[in-house]
Amino acid sequence: MAAAAARRLGERIRAGLVIASDAADVPDAFELIVGGHPLPTAASEAGGRRALALAASVADGEMLLALISGGASALMAVPADGITLDDKRAATQQLLRAGADIHALNTLRKHLSAVKGGWLAARARGACLALAISDVVGDDLSVIASGPTVPDASTFRDALDVILRFGGPDAFPRAVVARLERGAAGAVEETPKPGDTRLARATTSVIGSRRDAMIGAAAEAAERGYHVVQIDDPVVGDARESAAAHVRAATARAKSLPRPTCIVSSGETTVHVVGRGRGGRNQEFALAAAALLADADGDVALASVGTDGIDGPTDAAGAIADATTLARARAAGVDARAHLDDNNAYAFFDAIGDLIHTGPTGTNVGDLQVILLA
């Protein structure tokens, strides 16, 4: 995105910043900072502070161009007053392990941040244009990247409710709870709300989403001779529960379709981590689906992948399961039920060679599922 901006705008760019999850070549006018994902690092904080400084340098007659491509909630992090980076990391980790969805997670993040929830655009005296590739189901601009350039309708009370839903106050750093309680009592300034004049010159648009990934997968499948079905309803909720429901619905639908058939869907599930495994929501989705695939009629295979090439805290993008997965695992002495109960789908699929490794793709539009029926 930075390279495209540099080609289009050339010398009109006086300064630029790329905050990415790994090292990459950037245009000459841009500075590169490698932040952390899914948890922020010290470099994430440095990147966030540099972004705020750039925004503050934008004068009347200039424009702040923000190009957002997934992961920015972690990659660009500036703790709010009274909060440390470790506090933010601990709070994020708790929500991730408790299975919070992105809306709940980013509601909390916005109220612990000095850059999210509209604060980045509020720093600029000139105009702000943000172009976002959405990794959020529903493409809510206030949730994508935790909304650094848009008004925030959520409140400190909402953020406090998130804590109560996902572990309670004792599961979070005391400084986090104290800030939210002060904010809910009106003692801390809220995030900029709709109608805030500081954001009157800011415009944010979605330029890519999960549907683009589905369209690409469907086109490739059609070229390979498959009858293609796209399921527009997002795949959301707990990974293992949504996997079972999704496979049942997809295989039932496929009974009336010509073969070979490719069923394409997308979304973003969650995992409530209770075991000791490395997890990954796409890997857990595939493992939960394996039992149903074993009983399916004919040859059937399923892949579930993160479009960013990173599934949870693992080096895999996701995994493949098919009608033979459980039988091959038993032959290898690998217990599917035990691995699922331990949130350890990574070790399960690693043992039978069915992890999907793509490496980081450089963008993120959520998760993609593909089911093939021969």
Q: Tens digit of pLDDT for each residue in 7-60?
A: 999 999 999 999 998 888 999 989 999 999 888 999 999 999 999 999 999 999
Question: How many Å apart are CA 299 and CA 259, to the nearest integer?
Answer: 10
**Biggest distance spanned by C-alpha atoms of the chain:** 68
Confidence of residue 61 (pLDDT cuts 50, 70, 90): very high
Report, as an integer, the average pLDDT of 102-119: 96
Decide: 177 and 163 in contact? Cβ < 8 Å: yes
CATH of 2-208, one of 1.10.1840.10, 3.40.50.10180, 3.30.300.20, 3.80.10.10: 3.40.50.10180
User: Distance (Å, rounded) from C-alpha 344 to C-alpha 371?
Assistant: 22
CATH superfamily placement of domain 210-373: MOFRL domain (3.40.1480.10)
Mean pLDDT score of the chain: 94
Closest CA to 134 of 71, 75, 78, 194: 71
C-alpha distances in angstroms, 61 versus 58, 97, 200, 201?
A: 8, 45, 15, 11
How far apart are the C-alpha atoms of 63 and 49, rounded to whole Å? 18
Cβ neighbours of 49 (radius 10 Å)? 16
Contact 177, 111 (CB under 8 A): no
Return the pLDDT at 22: 86
Compute the Cα dihedral for 148, 152, 154, 156 and give only its sign. Answer: positive
Q: Taking the model in full, what pTM does it have?
A: 0.87
Q: Where are the domains of the chain?
A: 2-208, 210-373
Phi, psi of 11 (to 5 degrees): -75, -5
